[in-house]
Structure formats: structure tokens, C-alpha cells
Amino acid sequence: MKSISKILMIVISLLSYTACTAQIKNSTTTTVAISGNCDMCKATIEKAGNDKNMAKVDWNKDTKKASITYDAKKTTLDVVLKKIALAGYDNEQFVAPDEVYAQLPGCCQYERAKKTAVVEKHSQSHDKGAAHDHSQHDGTTAPAETNELKPVFDRYFMLKDALVKSDGATAATKAKEFISTINAVQMEKLATKEHTVWMSVMKKLSGAATLIAETKNIAKQRNAFSNLSKDMYTLIAAAPQTAPVYYQHCPMYDDGKGAHWLSKEDAVKNPYYGATMLTCGKTVETISK
Amino acid sequence: MIIKQSIYKGIGLLVALLLGHPPNVSAQKVVRYDLYVKDTMVNYTGKEKRAIAVNGQIPMPTLTFTEGDTAEIWVHNQLNESTSLHWHGLFLPNKEDGVPNLTQMPIAPGTTHVYRFPIIQQGTHWYHSHSGLQEQIGMYGNFVMNKKADALNIRKGIDDLPTLPVVLSEWTDLKPENVHRMLHNANDWSALKKNAVQSYAEAAKAGHLNTKFKNEWKRMLAMDVSDVYYNKIFMNGQSESSFSAHQGKVLKAGDKVRLRISNGGASSYFWLRYAGGKMTVVATDGNDIAPVEVDRLIIAVSETYDIVLTIPEEGMAYELLATTEDRTNSASLYIGAGRKQLIAPLPRLKYFEGMKMMNGMMKMNGNLDDMGMKMSLNKMDMNVVMYPEITGAAPKKGDKKKMDMASGAHSMDDQYNSNALSDIVTLNYAMMKATEPTTLPEAPTRTLQFELTGNMNRYVWSMNNKVISETDKILVKKGENLRLVIYNNSMMRHPMHLHGHDFRVVNGQGAYAPLKNVIDIMPMETDTLEFNANVEGDWFFHCHILYHMMSGMGRIFTYENQAANPLIPNPKLAKRMLYADDRMPHFMIENDFASNGNDGMMMIQNTRWSVGTEWRLGYHAMHGYETETHIGRYIGKMQWLMPFIGFDWRYRKMGHGEVEKNLFGQKNTKDNRAQLSLGVEYTLPMLIRFQTEVYQDGNLRLQLMREDIPIAKRLRMSFMVNTDMEYMGGFKYILNRNFALSAHYDSDMGFGAGFTLGY
């Protein structure tokens, strides 16, 4: 008996030994920068990148760097990094899809390098700005008045698109971004009329947006969005944009009380019901300069 | 005019060089390619497998011409089997079309065949083997014809862009012959690999038990959007590749590129999506269309699309993702140089939603019911019910559906209209508009109606319920206009391809109907195509899913009083060889090695006939030995009915005076019994096979049986009961493609357990 148990012991220890060392063959180790915030990020990143006997990822939340060990004969660093990006984490080689990033828990939504927004702003303020601004402003403020509000409208449309898709996570993210664009508006650059309206709606806008940002519950978000849209309408009526904007109405929302929203397209994409009632509603007013 | 050819033999291409510059503009340039077709071993998945390479490469080399050239393509067959090359979508003399046994005899091993034809069109096309299943294992390549530099139809901002030809394809580690055989035997290994078995257990878990029940009641097998599991997906032979520079210049922000994309896959449709924004579609099947901006498009088997993509930002590359329609696999091409912006993968299909949708459409007699929706041109896609990105994620358990209040407010039409349901713009045929009028010449018009038919369970695919070998060629008068009205009454979509002609897709664009040579027709859709019959010859019109074509889904158009094809010296022999493709029998065998005996079956089947033998062999005389052989013919479109003649033999040692009686009191005393029989088998709802059989001694036997009831992903149940008071019930747990663990109880042999080997 004893000898059997001894043999067993040896076999077990041998097995566990091989299990421990059944590690990655032909191993290569590299250090790669991967964005992320917290321990939750660490778990997601490592789970995404690890591959039994082929790749092992060890991410450090302080340095934002991972040491990746992989079997160079069976896989490549790119394969590992692509999987990590598809889990939502930007890295040296790959940038995560926006939708996947938006699905990350709030604490994991690390600071992303700004992308397209920068390019857009530049081109906008140069060509369209100067041409007609002189005709409208009173000569004392800077010439770029309408464009000061453009980012606010842009974010609003993104938020609306997220609601059209019934995507609560993205809606929350976009609402957050909407709030920061509100805070970034330089009021002294607004024309007098716009300035007055802005002062009256600004608080309400960020209030409604905060409600959207704080939840992923799409029903609550839509409720707040209907209030937000009223104030956005007041704002755009005072500060029409170069491209036409359509004021649209859904008669069914909130037990038939109805609700409005603004859209860049004439075709109806209803943000209050998403796919179930996507084309319900109609354009009630076209607002343009 | 002096044309000197200097020929470089070797791995690369052999191109004729034009030396003297003739003063005459109309001088023809001969462009010569030499293609060496050879067996090769590839290793895409860690296993060495056979493939076919041309000039040492997979895909075959891209052949490039300019409108007005003469193509001269030398095919050197270094295989041990015959081959052929078909120039997909090209206008050419019939004998250059490359369909073995129809437009030429197969290119025998060790011989060389020269294809020579003038290039009289432009655009993105491709070429592939038309022999057997060679297309599946490497014989596909890009075929690009550029516009002349001074052509009037040059489009600035499109034809002058950096261009990359891309051919999509798939790879399976299984031999394609085996894939074909398994499809015909309704083997569900592919579904297992794709996690799409849709068993009762999975249905129950998803809250769709009733759906599954109804599905089997309507005699359907698990529904899927594609049949074959592939290990790898390729763009130009690679799963991941980059397009970062063109002619030595690195692509930068704001640059546009044009991709000439062909789907060289044997049976896969691909979704194309771009991480850098909208895609502009500028041509299809080699014909220019007015640019259309879309978020995504599905490219049917053998279609081609030209798309223009923009690189939005400096220092970035953007993923173009080609995902198989079943969403199990994909290939990526990164456009631009730098960090790679990925696009989110398509979420998994909601199979049970699809099953439910199919249940609603399927009538009890196997026909489809479109509920008056008049579907066409891919505008409505019933499959949207399975797309989470369009119709929302599958409800989690306990979630009450919140959609109810909305239903009714929607018209039936919008329910499946992908573009109305979401802000994702999906390309469909109605959105395509030719760049110039495509009206046909004034001529008498004849309308031909076709119904696409098929039977998933036995993998028989046909037109008007007849396969190629069961029909005559369709006679066409040169100069007449033909209008084809095609209705898909089968459960799968079919990419229908016409050789040698482009057809107009009648899509509401009037004179500007787009020209194509492949049209994807989804279940229940009706599409109308028109073309002018202007080139004599025998032209194939077939479904381009390789395994559907090989099963006989096609027709041949032939011109009245046309000249004989010099490449077909013996038309009768050629015809017989052509018909052999869909007449090919498929073989399967299975044996259960159990503790109480051996149970097994063997079957050889083709489109209409089935020869099957079952056996039960005990280990001693008391248990007995018996076999039953049935030779039957399947009747009807759904093939639920099969009359057969049979032969039974059995030997069983019975006790003294022991008499077996059946339910009808008929006696059976013989230990050694050999009987001829007549019978009929009918597939009942729930896919139960009901057999009625009368033996020569007057005995009657009725039997109910079903094998392979999908209980759980890998667990199958079977049962049998008959009026000879015999019964059997068992379980099988599938381990791999050929091997399963099994246990069953049999009224003759008692309980037994063992393993089942199958092929």
C-alpha cells in the first residue's frame, strides 16, 4: 500500500511538474504598451491575450505595459495584440473598435488619444467660418460664432445615433462627451442672441445629459433625451447651422404625449424606439440658415 | 506590324513583349501568360494537405489585360488529373469558355492547352477551374481588364486610383470530395464545428423549444446560412495582409484606393465592412455603376465588386474585414500605413430566430410562402431576424419582449428591410444604376420561367425540380432577347451565373438597369433578368455554389443551328461525361460495435436512387444475424416518398416450437429466412421514416424509425419500432467526424454499449 501511495505521489508530482513547465515553447518575450486603467482592465487584457501553451500576457497597470511571452512558431505578437484590441484595449499595433471600447465598464474607459475630431475642427473653422460671419456679428466678438456650437450639435447627433441603435453604453459615453463639449464652449465668442439663449439652456442641457451619462438603461436615457432635445431645439433656432437640421416628431412616445428630436437627415430614424419603430415619425421643421 | 515575342520560362509570368511600335493604333497586342498547374502540399492549419498551385502560388497569378489586347493563355497541366480554366464573366468565343465536356474536352494530364481570345470588355473579373472540385483547393485567381488610356468611359477619381485586385477564398482541411459526400449524407459535422447544431437542449436553453419542435414537425433540419465549415478565410491567399503603399508611395491620410474584389470562394458569401467609414461601390461583375455609399455589402459566391475606400487619418491603417455569412471566420486587409484601426466583428447569428422565421415561411408541403411580400433584389433579407446588429441582441432568459406594442404599426415590408430597420446601409441590387443606358436591341423577346428547387436533407439542388442530366439543352435563337424570371423556392440562397453574356437586372432603374453575370437570389425572391442572345455556343447557366453545381443545379443554353465546336470531337461522349457530375453516387457506411452485436448500415445514393443495406449481427446464433437491402427511388421535390424493392435475409436459432407472431397474427417460424419484398418509405413530420413492406410470403411489416434526433450539441437519439414486435432505442455521443460512443437497447439482442465508426 505504502509503495503504491508513494508511486502515486511521485506520479502526481511529476504530472504537476510537467503541468507547470508545460509552458510556452520557442518562447519570445516582448514588452508592449497597452492602454488601460485598473485591475479589471488587467483581467480583461490578460484573458483576451492568453492562449494555452501559446501566449501569456502580464499587464502592469502602473506602467501601462505588458510583457508578452509567446511561441514564435505557433503564433505571432500581432495575433495576441489584435485579440487584446478586440477586447477594447488600444495598443502599439491595433486600435480597438469604438463600439467595443464603449462597451467597457465605466472604470475601464481609459483616456483615448483624440482622433478624427481634431481634423474636423480645423477644416471647418477655416473654410465656412470666415465667409459669412462678418455679415452677422456685431464686430466686437471673434469671427467664429456658429462654429463654437458646432461640436455641441455634433455630439448631440452622435448621442441620438446611439439611441437609434438602442445602444445604452455608447449613449452614456456620448452624453459624457456632450457635457465636455458644453463646458468647452467659449461663451465670449458667441453672438449676443446666441449668448442669451445659451445662458438659458446650458444648465438644462448638461443636467439632462448627466442623467443619460449616469445610466445605461435605455428607457431612462430616452426620457432624458426628450427633454434634452427640447432645449437643443431652442438653441438651434437661435443659432442655425450651415447644414440644414431637421426637427422631427414621434407621436407615440410616452403614451402618446409624443417627443421631438433633431436630425441631420430628412429620413426618419427614431431614437425613442430603435429598431422596433425605426421609421415612425415625421419631419416637422427644417432649420437652416 | 512586327510583334516579337520573347518568352521567359520560369516560375513567374510569361508576357509577350511588344517591341516595334506600330504606327497603326488599332494594332493588336498579344499578351501571353503561361500557367503551370501542379499538385502541391500546403500547411495552413498545422497539417500538411494537398492543394493545387499555379506557377507555384495560391491563388493563381493575377492576369492583367487592356481592352483591345488579345489574350493568349497557355495552360500546362502537370497534375495527375484533367483540368480546365474558365474565364468568369468574359465575352469570348464559346470554345474558349473553359467548361470541360461542354465547350472543350478536359485538358489531359501532361498536356498543354492554349486559350486565345480578344479582350473586348473591361472590368474586374476572375478565373477558376471548372473541373470537379479543383476550385476549392486553390484554382482561382484575379482577371483584370483595364480600360484603354484614351477610352471615353474613363472615370476620373476612380479609374486613376491606386488599385489592388483581391480574390476572396476559403480553405478546408477536409478533401473537397469528402465535403461533398458529407453534405449529401446530411452529416452534421460542419454544424458541430460551427456550433450551429441547434439541438433540443440548446433550443430549450434559448427558450425556443417550441420553435425547434415546429421546425422538425415541418420536416426541416437545423437551418444555417451556409453548409460547409472552413478552417481559414483568405484575401489573396492570406488571412491578414496590408495595402500600405502603391508603386513605392506610402498611402497617407485622404488618399483613396480602389479594390477590385472577386469572391473565389467555393460556397461562402462574405460580408465586407471597412473600419475607415463608408465604402463607395463603383462597379459590379466588371460593369461600372454610379457610385453608391454603403456601410456594408455581402458578396455572393463568384460576384465581383469594385469599391473605393478613403484613409481618414495619417499614421493609421484601417481594417477591411471579410466575414463569412455564418460569421464563424474572417480575413482582414489593412488599408494604409501605421497603427491598425479594427472594426468590431459581426456578432453571432441568432439561429433560433432564423429557425422561427423559417417555420413561418415553410408550408407543410415543403413549398415556401412569402405571405405576399413579393421579395426581390436582396432588398428584404429574412435573415435580418438573425442579425443582432440590426434587430438587437438575443433576449436573455427572463427578458420579456418589449416590442409587442410596436408590432402592427409596422408594415410587413419593413420587417425584413435591413436599411429601414437600422442606420446601417447595406447594399442591395435595387441601389445599383448603370453609368450608361443598357437597353437591349429591338428584337423578339421570349420569357423563360425558372424555379430554384432543392432539398436540404438529401442535398439535391435543381431547377424546376430537374438536375442538368435530367434535362435537354434550352434552344435559343441568335438575336432574340431572353427574359429569365427566376423564383427561389428553396431554403438556401443561390448565386446564379450565366456564361458568356451579361444580363440586365431589372431593378427599377429603367434604361439604367445594371449589367451583371451573377445574381444572388434569396429564398422566396423573384428576380427578372434580360439579355440579348448574341454569341453562338453552349453556355452554362448555373448556381455558382460549387457543391450545388456539382449536384446538378443548372441548365445549358444552346443556339439553334450553330456550327459544331471543333474542340468537342465526340459530342455524345462529352455529354455523358458532363452528366456524370450530377449522377455521381455518394457513399456512406456506419457500424456500431456494441457489446451485444454489430449494427450497421451502408448506403449509395444519387439524385433519385438509393441503395441501402442494414445489418444486425449478433455474437451468437440465438441473437441471430439479419440484413435488409432496399433499392428505392425518391419521388417528388422534397423526396419524402420512396418506393423500394427489398431483400431480407436472416438466421436466428429459435427454441423448439417457438413461433414469432407479428401484430397482425402472421406467423414466422423459420430460423433461416430469405425474402423478397415490396415497400414504400415516407418521411413523416418530425422526420420520422415510416416504412410499409410486404414480403413474398405475404407477411406485412410496418415500421417507424428515426436516427440522429439532436438532443444536445453532441448527443443524438434514435429509435425504431415495428409490427414484428421489434423495437430499439439508443443514444450516440459524437466524439469526432468518424467516431461516436453509443448505447442502445434492442428487442432481439438486449442492451449493448460500444462505439460507432462512420464514413
| Residue predicted with more confidence, B712 or B418 | B712
Chain A nearest-CA residue for B391: A275
Q: Do B422 and A278 touch (CB under 8 A)?
A: yes
Give the nearest chain B residue to A96 (CA atoms).
Answer: B342
Would A147 be classed as within a structural domain? yes
> Does residue A18 sit within a domain?
no
Residue B78 has pLDDT above 50, yes or no: yes
Residue B510 has pLDDT above 70, yes or no: yes
CATH code (residue A211): 1.20.120
pLDDT at A238: 86
CATH number, position B81:
2.60.40.420
- In this complex, is the C-beta atom of A266 within 8 Å of any C-beta atom belonging to chain B? no
Domain-located, residue A170: yes
- Pick the last residue of a domain from B503, B534, B552: B552
Considering only the beta carbons, identify the residue of B342, B402, B423 that sits closest to A164.
Answer: B423
Interface touch B392/A275, C-beta < 8 Å: yes
Query: What is the percent of chain A with per-residue pLDDT over 90, rounded to a whole number?
Result: 31
Helix (H, G, I), strand (E, B) or coil at A192: helix
> How many domains in chain B?
3
Task: Check whether B580 has a pLDDT greater than 50.
Answer: yes
Q: Give the one of B340, B403, B410 whose C-beta lies nearest to A94's C-beta.
A: B340
Residue where the block lists cell 438644462: A204
B399 vs B238, residue with greater confidence: B238
Instruction: Look at residue A49 and tell me whether its pLDDT is greater than 50.
Output: yes
CB contact under 8 A, B344 and A277: no
The answer on B591 and B521 residing in a single domain is: no
Check if the beta carbon of residue A66 is closer than 8 Å to that of residue A72: no
Q: A83: domain CATH number?
A: 3.30.70.100
pLDDT for residue B536: 95
Residues B571 and B579: beta-carbon distance below 8 Å: no
pLDDT band at B669 (very low <50, low <70, confident <90, very high): low
Note the pLDDT of residue A112: 84
Q: Parallel, antiparallel, or unpaired for β B256-263 and B163-171?
A: parallel
pLDDT of residue A11: 61
Q: What is the mean pLDDT of chain B?
A: 87
- Enumerate residues 6+ apart whose C-beta is below 8 A from B89: B123, B125, B126, B285, B286, B304, B502, B517, B518
Average pLDDT, chain A: 80
In the numeric block, which cell numbers belong to residue A249?
416628431
Out of A239-243, B129-133, B143-147, B513-517, least confident range: A239-243
Encoded amino acid at B155, one letter? R
- What is the reported pLDDT for A114? 56
The reply to whether A124 falls in a domain is no
Q: How far is B350 from chain A (nearest CA, A)?
A: 16
Q: By residue range, what is the domain housing residue B136? A: 30-153
Band of pLDDT at residue A10, cut at 50, 70 and 90: low
Does residue B90 lie in a domain region? Answer: yes
Q: Which residues of A touch B422 (CB under 8 A)?
A: 164-165, 275, 278
Q: What share of chain A is helix, strand, coil (3-state, %, to 5)?
A: 55, 15, 30
Mark which of A77, A100, A123 sits at the end of a domain.
A100
Contact B474, B555 (CB under 8 A): yes
Alpha-carbon gap, residue B375 to B718, rounded angstroms: 39
pLDDT score recorded for residue A22: 52
pLDDT of A132 > 70? The answer is: no
- Would you say residue A88 lies in a domain? yes
Q: Does A73 touch chain B (CB under 8 A)?
A: no
Q: Are B316 and A96 an interchain contact pair (Cβ–Cβ within 8 Å)? A: no
Of A78, A97, A164, the CB nearest to B344: A97
A165/B339 touch (CB, cutoff 8 Å), yes or no: no
Mean pLDDT for the stretch of residues A42-71: 91
Of the candidates B104, B135, B153, which is a domain's last residue?
B153
A116/B contact by beta carbon, under 8 A: yes
Higher pLDDT, B306 or B208: B306
Considering CB atoms only, which of A116, A274, A276 is closest to B313?
A116
Taking CB atoms and an 8 Å cutoff, what residues of chain A touch B344?
A: 86, 97, 99-100
d(CA A178, CA B681): 68
Task: Judge if A73 and A145 occupy the same domain.
Answer: no
Q: Is residue A191 part of a domain?
A: yes
The answer on B547 and B618 residing in a single domain is no
- pLDDT tens digit string along B219-274? 888 777 788 889 999 999 999 999 999 988 999 999 999 999 999 999 999 999 99
Indicate whether A213 and A273 sit together in one domain. Answer: yes
Angle between helices A192-213 and A168-184 (to 10 degrees): 150
Q: Tell me: do A170 and A59 sit in the same domain.
A: no
One-letter amino acid at A102 equals A
Query: Which of B107, B126, B153 is at the close of a domain?
Result: B153
pLDDT reading at B167 higher than 90: yes
B521 and B647 in one domain? no
Outline where B695-738 has alpha helix (H): none
Query: Are residue A85 and residue A158 in the same domain, yes or no?
Result: no
Mean pLDDT across the stretch B541-569? 94
pLDDT tens-digit readout, B179-215: 998 888 877 777 888 788 889 998 888 888 888 888 8
Q: Which domain holds residue A39?
A: 23-100
In angstroms, what separates the C-alpha of A186 from chain B's closest C-alpha?
27
> Are both B740 and B694 inside the same structural domain?
yes
Subunit contact A95:B316, Cβ cutoff 8 A: yes
Reduce the DSSP state of residue B210 to 3 states and report it. Answer: helix
Q: How confident is the model at residue A185 (pLDDT cuts 50, 70, 90)?
A: confident
Q: Across the interface, do B313 and A165 touch by the CB < 8 Å criterion? A: no
- Which tens digits make up the pLDDT trace of B419-467? 777 778 999 999 999 999 999 999 999 999 999 998 877 888 999 999 9
Tens-digit pLDDT profile for residues A66-110: 999 999 888 899 999 999 999 999 999 999 999 899 888 888 889
- Which of A218, A248, A273, A276 to mutate: most B Cβ within 10 Å? A276
What pLDDT was estimated at residue B670?
64
Q: Are strands B70-77 and B750-758 parallel, antiparallel or unpaired?
A: unpaired
Residue A4: per-residue pLDDT: 65
Confidence label for B539 from pLDDT (cuts 50, 70 and 90): very high
Q: Is the pLDDT of residue A120 over 70?
A: no
CB contact under 8 A, B421 and A119: no
**Does B594 reside within a domain?**
yes
State whether B410 and A97 contact (CB < 8 Å): no
Residue A156 domain-assigned? yes
Asked, as a colleague might, if the bond just before B59 is cis with ω within 30 of 0, I would say: yes
Considering CB atoms only, which of B253, B345, B406 is closest to A276? B406
Question: Considering only A78-87, A239-248, B145-154, B294-303, which range has the smallest mean pLDDT?
Answer: A239-248
Q: Does A166 touch chain B (CB under 8 A)?
A: yes
Phi-psi map region of B171: left, alpha, beta (phi>0 left; psi -120 to 50 alpha)? beta
The pLDDT of residue A3: 65
Please say whether the beta carbons of A249 and A260 come within 8 A: yes
Q: Do A194 and A91 fall within a single domain?
A: no
Within this chain, do residues A148 and A259 fall inside the same structural domain, yes or no? yes
Q: Write out the three cell numbers for B564.
A: 459544331
* Whole-angstrom distance, CA of residue A258 vs CA of residue A268: 15
Residue B96 inside a domain? The answer is yes
pLDDT at A95: 94
Is there a single domain that holds both residue B533 and residue B679?
A: no
Contact B406 A273 (CB under 8 A): yes
Q: Given an 8 Å threshold on Cβ–Cβ distance, is A279 in contact with B403? A: no
Q: How many CB pairs under 8 A join A and B?
A: 64
Q: Please name the residue of chain A whose CA is at the shortest distance from the CA of residue B343.
A: A97
pLDDT at B5: 38
Which of the four pLDDT bands, split at 50, 70 and 90, describes residue A12? Answer: low
* Nearest Cα to Cα of residue B354 among B324, B388, B397: B388
Distance from CA of A127 to the nearest CA of B (A): 17
Whether residue B76 has pLDDT greater than 80: yes
For the segment B641-646, the average pLDDT, to the nearest whole number, is: 91
Please check the confidence at residue A260 and state whether its pLDDT lies above 50. yes
Q: Torsions phi, psi of B146, nearest 5?
A: -85, 155
Q: Which of B275, B339, B402 sits opposite A93 (nearest CB)?
A: B339
Helix %, strand %, coil % for chain B, to 5? 15, 45, 45
Q: Which of B517, B558, B554, B553 is nearest to B538 (CA)?
A: B558
A95 touches chain B (CB under 8 A): yes
Instruction: Please state, in angstroms and rounded to a whole number, the distance separating the CA atoms of residues B89 and A198.
Output: 61
Query: Measured between CA atoms, how close is B263 to chain A, in angstroms?
Result: 25
Sheet holding B123-128, edge to edge: B60-66, B140-146, B123-128, B86-88
Q: Across the interface, do A165 and B403 touch by the CB < 8 Å criterion?
A: no
Decide which of A100, A123, A158 is a domain's last residue.
A100
Domain termination site, one of A50, A81, A100: A100
**How far does B552 lie from chain A, in Å, by closest CA?**
41
Mean pLDDT, rounded, for A34-61 = 91
Does residue B159 surpass a pLDDT of 80? yes
- State mean pLDDT over B405-421: 58
- The owner of cell 500546362 is B76
Residue B368 carries which DSSP code? B
Q: Is the predicted pLDDT of residue B660 greater than 90, yes or no?
A: no
For residue B682, being part of any structural domain is answered with: yes
Say whether both A146 and A268 belong to one domain. yes
Identify whether residues A152 and A79 lie together within a single domain: no
Which residue from B minimizes the CA distance to A91? B339
User: Closest chain B residue to A252 measured between Cα atoms?
Assistant: B406
Same domain (yes/no): A142, A70 = no
Place B321 in a pLDDT band, splitting at 50, 70 and 90: very high
Q: Are residues B666 and B753 in the same domain?
A: yes
Which of B451-460, B518-527, B551-560 is least confident?
B451-460
A78:B392 CB<8 A: no
Find the mean pLDDT for residues B533-552. Answer: 95
Nearest CA distance, B424 vs chain A (angstrom): 10
Match 464514413 to its residue by C-alpha cell. Answer: B759
Same domain? For B592 and B712 the reply is yes
Residue-level pLDDT at A46: 93
How many domains are there within chain A?
2
Q: How far is CA B319 from CA B237, B245, B581, B704, in A?
A: 17, 15, 40, 54
ipTM value: 0.81
Q: Residue A25 has what pLDDT?
A: 82
Whether the Cβ atoms of residue B487 and residue B519 lie closer than 8 Å to each other: no
Residue A251 lies inside a defined structural domain of this protein? yes
Same domain, B601 and B738: yes
